[in-house]
């Protein structure tokens, strides 16, 4: 665990030493706020709800999270630092987990900074701390799943742009197959299956305030599964 934290610390530090971290964060926050207020105009003042906010952020996160994860392995491979890193006395799993935690910390900080938006909305309407809590819980679980997927994809290439695009598309597909609009367009026998694996449908129900243990277990297993793949790919591709 100690090693995991050391790796996470190193990732976070080198992230904040480069301006890129701040740029991503600012772009994410500005984009979210702009889109949110656009929605509000669209619905006439005061009509946009918490629901709209929690519907919007997962979409913006589709781009934001792969942007965080894209460099995490790809850059190590590009610079050759993977060799120095993986010949330190660390287990593969510790390094993978450390990188994941660093990304998660960055995600949590950024999500925390969006907090004023829903608060403004609920102050105008009826403040509902339960809904806020559920919404953020859903966002964290969803974002962490995106992150695990993006991190794994980053370990497969040394090109950050490729990692970004692939991860964004992968997350988009996994998100969209659970959205109602999409589900009405596919054969009905597919629906339960798609709903089962989709990232989006579970999010909707958590965000609506239905915290089902199965949904949480689902997200945790998605995260675990992709972190496991990540360990395998690091192990196999170290020397390549």
Ligand X SMILES: Nc1ncnc2c1ncn2[C@@H]1O[C@H](COP(=O)(O)OP(=O)(O)OP(=O)(O)O)[C@@H](O)[C@H]1O
**Contacts with ligand X, residue ranges (CB under 6 A):** 239-240
User: Which residues touch 95 (CB under 8 Å, ≥6 apart)?
Assistant: 7, 85, 86, 234
Site string for other proteins, 173-192 (x = CB under 8 A): --------------------
Q: Which partner from the list ligand X, other proteins, none does 14 bind, CB cut-off 5 to 8 Å by kind? A: other proteins
Least Å from the CB of residue 212 to other proteins: 40
Which residue lies nearer to ligand X by CB, 68 or 82?
82
DSSP letter assigned to residue 88: S
CB 58 within 8 A of CB 146: no
Locate 26 and state its tokens.
């600012």
Contact call for residue 79 and other proteins (CB under 8 A) = yes
CB 171 within 8 A of CB 150: yes
CB 191 within 8 A of CB 183: yes
- Indicate the SS3 state at residue 57: helix
Q: Which of 39, 86, 137, 216 binds other proteins (CB under 8 A)?
A: 86
Number of residues that this document lists for the chain: 240
Q: Which partner from the list other proteins, ligand X, none does 6 bind, CB cut-off 5 to 8 Å by kind? A: other proteins
Least Å from the CB of residue 18 to ligand X: 28
CB 71 within 8 A of CB 160: yes
Report the site for other proteins in 89-118 (rule: CB under 8 A): 89-91
Least Å from the CB of residue 240 to ligand X: 5
Which residue lies nearer to other proteins by CB, 81 or 221?
81
DSSP letter assigned to residue 89: S
Distance from the Cα of residue 97 to its chain's centroid? 15
Which residue lies nearer to ligand X by CB, 130 or 239?
239
Locate 149 and state its tokens.
């997927």
CA nearest neighbour of 35 among 65, 55, 15? 55
Q: Which partner from the list ligand X, other proteins, none does 81 bind, CB cut-off 5 to 8 Å by kind? A: other proteins
Least Å from the CB of residue 82 to other proteins: 8
Which residue lies nearer to other proteins by CB, 3 or 159?
3
CA distance 196 to 220: 14
CB 202 within 8 A of CB 178: yes
Which residue lies nearer to other proteins by CB, 3 or 122?
3
Least Å from the CB of residue 85 to ligand X: 17
Q: Which of 1, 17, 181, 188 binds other proteins (CB under 8 A)?
A: 17
Residues at the contact surface with other proteins, assessed by CB under 8 A: 3, 6-7, 9-10, 13-15, 17-18, 79-84, 86-91, 238-239
């Amino acid at each position: 665990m100690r090693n995991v934290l050391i790796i996470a610390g190193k990732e976070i530090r080198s992230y904040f030493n480069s301006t890129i971290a701040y740029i991503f964060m600012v772009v994410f926050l500005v984009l979210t706020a702009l889109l949110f207020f656009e929605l509000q105009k669209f619905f006439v003042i005061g009509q946009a709800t918490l629901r709209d906010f929690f519907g919007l952020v997962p979409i913006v996160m589709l781009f934001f999270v792969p942007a965080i994860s894209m460099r995490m392995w790809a850059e190590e491979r590009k610079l050759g630092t993977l060799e120095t890193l993986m010949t330190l006395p660390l287990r593969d799993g510790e390094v993978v987990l450390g990188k994941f935690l660093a990304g998660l910390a960055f995600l949590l900080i950024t999500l925390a900074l969006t907090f004023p938006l829903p608060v403004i909305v609920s102050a105008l309407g009826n403040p509902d701390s339960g809904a806020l809590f559920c919404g953020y819980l859903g966002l964290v679980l969803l974002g962490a799943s995106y992150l695990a997927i993006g991190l794994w994809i980053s370990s497969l290439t040394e090109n950050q742009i490729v990692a970004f695009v692939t991860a964004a598309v992968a997350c988009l597909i996994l998100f969209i197959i659970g959205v109602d609009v999409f589900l009405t367009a596919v054969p009905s026998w597919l629906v339960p299956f798609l709903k089962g694996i989709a990232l989006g449908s579970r999010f909707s129900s958590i965000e609506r305030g239905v915290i089902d243990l199965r949904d949480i277990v689902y997200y945790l297993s998605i995260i675990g599964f992709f972190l496991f793949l990540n360990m395998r790919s690091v192990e196999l591709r170290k020397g390549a």
